[in-house]
C-alpha cells in the first residue's frame, strides 16, 4: 500500500501540473471503487480552478476555487499519472481529471481499493479526516505527545504508532524502520516506554519519512509516482521484508513476528 512518502511524492509531482489549471471535466470510467464515486461529482467540480494540491495523511486533497474540493485515496495499488490529453487509457484507469492545459490526471487502481470524494470546505471537517491524528512532520508531533497518548496502553508500540488516530501516515514499512533505528522492540507495550525513548522515536519517525520523501518513496508491488516511475527507498530498508537475513548493524539474524495482523521484522539484539 502506498504510504505517506509515496503520497507526498505524488502530491509534489502533481502540483506543478494542477495548481492554477481549470478542471474542465471529470470522467468517471469506473465508479465502483472502495466507495462508489458520486454521480454528482463531475457536475460539482466542472470548470473550477485548482487552487492547491495538499495532503492529509494518505489522502490527496484537491482544493478548488469557490470552496470545496476532492479527497483522493490511492488505496492498496493506486497511482496518479500525468498524461497528454487524449492519450490511450490503460486497463485500470478509472478516473480522468481533464485540465485546460492539454493534460489529464489518470487515477489507476487495479484493485479498486482507492476512493474519490467531494467535500465542502473546510476539508478537515470531512468524516474521513476529522478524527485523524497529527501529521508526523508537523510541530504537533513529538515525543511528549506520544508519551502522553501511550500512558496505560498495553498495546504493542508498533501498532500504536501505526494507529491513524494517534499519528497519520506511519505505515508498516516506516514504523518498522523507525523502531529499528531507535532500538525499540516492536512488541514492547506502548505504556512501558520512557519519555526519552519516545523523543528519540518521534525524531526517527520524522527522519525516516523525510528521507523516503526525498528519495521518492518505496518500490513495493504497484507503487509508481505521478510520472509512472517507482520510488527507491526500498534499497535503504534495514528490517522491513528482511526476516531471516543478517542485521546490517550487528549481523544477528532478523526475526519475524505478527503484530496487529501485520508481519513485523526486528533485530533481537539491537531492539529491546
Q: Please pick, among 2, 5, 136, 186, the residue that the annotation labels catalytic.
A: 2
**Which residue among the candidates 27, 188, 255, 262 is catalytic per the annotation?**
262
- In the residue annotation, 84 being an active-site residue is answered as no
Is 227 a catalytic site residue?
no
- Distance between CA 22 and CA 184 in Å, rounded? 48
Q: Is 34 annotated as a binding residue?
A: no
CB 104 within 8 A of CB 89: no
Q: How far apart are alpha carbons 252 and 266 in whole angstroms?
A: 10
φ/ψ of residue 103, rounded to 5: -130, 160
255 is catalytic: no
Catalytic residue among 11, 48, 56, 58: 58
In the residue annotation, 130 being an active-site residue is answered as: no
Is 153 labelled as part of a ligand binding site? yes
Q: 268 Cβ partners below 8 Å, 6+ apart?
A: 252, 253, 255
111 annotated to bind ligand: yes
Closest CA to 85 of 102, 99, 101, 100: 102
Residues annotated within a binding site: 92, 111, 153
Q: Which residues are catalytic?
A: 2-3, 58, 262
Residues annotated within a binding site for DNA: 92, 111, 153
Amino acid at each position: 500500500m502506498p504510504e505517506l512518502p509515496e503520497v507526498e511524492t505524488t502530491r509534489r509531482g502533481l502540483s506543478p501540473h494542477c495548481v492554477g489549471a481549470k478542471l474542465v471535466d471529470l470522467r468517471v470510467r469506473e465508479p465502483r471503487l472502495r466507495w462508489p464515486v458520486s454521480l454528482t461529482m463531475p457536475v460539482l467540480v466542472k470548470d473550477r480552478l485548482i487552487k492547491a494540491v495538499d495532503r492529509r495523511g494518505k489522502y490527496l486533497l484537491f482544493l478548488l476555487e469557490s470552496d470545496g474540493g476532492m479527497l483522493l485515496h490511492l488505496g492498496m495499488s493506486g497511482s496518479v499519472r500525468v498524461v497528454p490529453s487524449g492519450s490511450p487509457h490503460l486497463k485500470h484507469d478509472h478516473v480522468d481529471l481533464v485540465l485546460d492545459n492539454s493534460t489529464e490526471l489518470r487515477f489507476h487502481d487495479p484493485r479498486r481499493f482507492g476512493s474519490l470524494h467531494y467535500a465542502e470546505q473546510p476539508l478537515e471537517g470531512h468524516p474521513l479526516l476529522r478524527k485523524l491524528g497529527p501529521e508526523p512532520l508537523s510541530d504537533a508531533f513529538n515525543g511528549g505527545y506520544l508519551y502522553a497518548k501511550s500512558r496505560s496502553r498495553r498495546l504493542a508500540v508498533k501498532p500504536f504508532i501505526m494507529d491513524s488516530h494517534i499519528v497519520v501516515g506511519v505505515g508498516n514499512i516506516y514504523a518498522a524502520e523507525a523502531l529499528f533505528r531507535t532500538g525499540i522492540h516492536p512488541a514492547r507495550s506502548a505504556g512501558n516506554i520512557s519519555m526519552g525513548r519516545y523523543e528519540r522515536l518521534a525524531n526517527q519517525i520524522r527522519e525516516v519519512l523525510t528521507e523516503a520523501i526525498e528519495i521518492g518513496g518505496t518500490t513495493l508491488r504497484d507503487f509508481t509516482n505521478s510520472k509512472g516511475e517507482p520510488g527507491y527507498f526500498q534499497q535503504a530498508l534495514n528490517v522491513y521484508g528482511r526476516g531471516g537475513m543478517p542485521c546490517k548493524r550487528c549481523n544477528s539474524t532478523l526475526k519475524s513476528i505478527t503484530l496487529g495482523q501485520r508481519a513485523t521484522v526486528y533485530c533481537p539484539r539491537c531492539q529491546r
